[in-house]
Amino acid sequence: MDGGRKMKTCLQYDQYQETGVREECGVFGIYDFDGNDVASSVYYGLCSLQHRGQESCGIVVSDTKGDRGNIAYHKDLGLVSEVFKPDTLSSLHGNLGIGHVRYSTTGGSTRENAQPLVLNYIKGTLALAHNGNLVNAASLKEELVYGGAIFHTTTDSEMIAYYIARERVHTRNVEEAVLHTARRIRGGYALVVMSPRKLIAVRDPFGLKPLCIGKRNNAYIVASESCALASVGAEFIRDIEPGEMVAITEKGITSNKELQQKERAHCIFEYIYFARLDSEMDGIKIYDARIRSGRALAKAWPVDADLVTGVPESGLTAAKGYAMEAGLPFEIAFYKNSYIGRTFIKPTQKERESSVKLKLNVLESVVKDKRIVLVDDSIVRGTTMANLIQMLKKAGAKEVHVRISAPPFLYPCYYGTDVPSNEQLIAADHTTEEIREIIGADSLGYMKIEDLQTMVGDLGICKACFDNHYPVPAESEKKGFTNEEN
């Protein structure tokens, strides 16, 4: 694929000048029928989903046997372990709870935008946690604003909560209100909705965003990834199907599939990067998918080399797959300092470069006088990769051949993945050969688009950020609106 094609952008991506592809959000919910407090379980579930968002987090709980409207919550900016201390958790009493970790794609990094959102309305109290992005948010929000709604956040999620509350006034129960709202919204979403007595989870009809369900003793749990179920000792039951709504009430668990459709478009970047290595999504083990991506890279871009290594942690599994297919040794060439923050949060180029060297150190005895295949999941700006190659060669590597387990980013994502603006994407303005020269690699090979399917078998996937084929057309393209997020 030619890396020199221009990326088509919308205002959303021109407004936020980041240096890396940012994670999505993570959602978690639990209903314990034995009446046990669940705040600590939500906490551990969110800790296991921390990779999906490090900006803010929150927990909402309710005692289903207590007075209606007795919802308690706490949320703030920061990591889960920073926001929730033992005394905070011990104050959150209830056997029903939901939680959220957030990384905004738009909407701003403010405490007001932290989730879950809690809404008091004529029928009581509603809490909502949302992973995704809607393509028709602008027109739906305009309808609410002209109807008198006042918004306190800049997220899609508040708009969804308002619609559910409005529908609830005219429906028999909250399940119907959620279902009616889901028929209106378009895009990628995984929603976890909590009333004082019920837990509801719904997934978009294309399956763009992941959502699964598990069970622990007499408690049901929903989560963005199966790793969150394991973290609280729950058994993975199944994925919530695209277009399915699951309702957990005092009567048990029910399923509604009225929103289902034949076409599926699971986000391929979950398998390339987002999901945790020990998760399973829609029947695909993430570890196995990344091994297959490395094997595909080795078949597409073989090279004479002495060893294969990966950029910690994102490139290690694909690197192992490459080594297996190529018949080369797989080695750890970098020591990672886990206590240094991510490079893209540094405000200046000089600080970013310094952070790379603080974060990773080359194991000279591994790379000296060796021809190396270096595998990672993406090249965004090119700054980090250029520094790594320079570090390897300074440590004595004879050659560094870079292999990327994703095609070049060329188009925006409208469903909740924060692909930066074209000014930040090296592939938007440079061919693959030009990028190779800029980063100083001896050769460079990207995953071929046609090879992405080998990662997930016959699973329907969305790869619009690589090929410009969107399963759900973006409203901003048609009407000039900008997307609001979560």
Q: Which residues of 440-469 are buried (b: 16+ CB within 10 A; e: fewer)?
A: bbbbbbbbeeebbeebbeebbbbbbbbeee
Active site residue 227: no
Closest CA to 100 of 134, 135, 133, 52: 52
Cα 439 to Cα 401: distance, rounded to the nearest angstrom: 11
Report whether 314 belongs to an annotated binding site. Answer: yes
Are 234 and 430 in contact, with CB atoms under 8 Å apart? no
Report whether 227 belongs to an annotated binding site. Answer: no
Cα 84 to Cα 88: distance, rounded to the nearest angstrom: 6
Report whether 47 belongs to an annotated binding site. Answer: no
DSSP 220-279: EEEESSHHHHHHTTPEEEEEPPTT-EEEEETTEEEEE-TT--S---EEHHIIIIIS-TT-
The phi, psi pair for 255, rounded to 5°, reads -130, 140
Q: Which of 25, 47, 212, 227 is catalytic?
A: 25
Report whether 40 belongs to an annotated binding site. Answer: no
Are 121 and 165 in contact, with CB atoms under 8 Å apart? yes
H or E element, residue 209: none
- The tokens for 143 are 């309808």
What are the beta bridge partners of residue 375?
310, 403
Are 272 and 405 in contact, with CB atoms under 8 Å apart? yes
Beta strands 461-462 and 117-121, pairing class: unpaired
Closest CA to 39 of 56, 59, 55, 20: 59
Q: Give how far Cα 182 sits from Cα of 131, 164, 173, 394, 440, Å.
A: 14, 9, 15, 55, 48
Cα 297 to Cα 407: distance, rounded to the nearest angstrom: 11
Angle, CA 75 vertex, CA 250 and CA 163 arms, to 5°: 60
Report whether 376 belongs to an annotated binding site. Answer: yes
What residue numbers does the annotated binding site cover? 267, 314, 376-377, 413, 462, 465
What residue numbers does the annotated binding site for Mg(2+) cover? 314, 376-377
Q: Which residues are catalytic?
A: 25
What residue numbers does the annotated binding site for [4Fe-4S] cluster cover? 267, 413, 462, 465
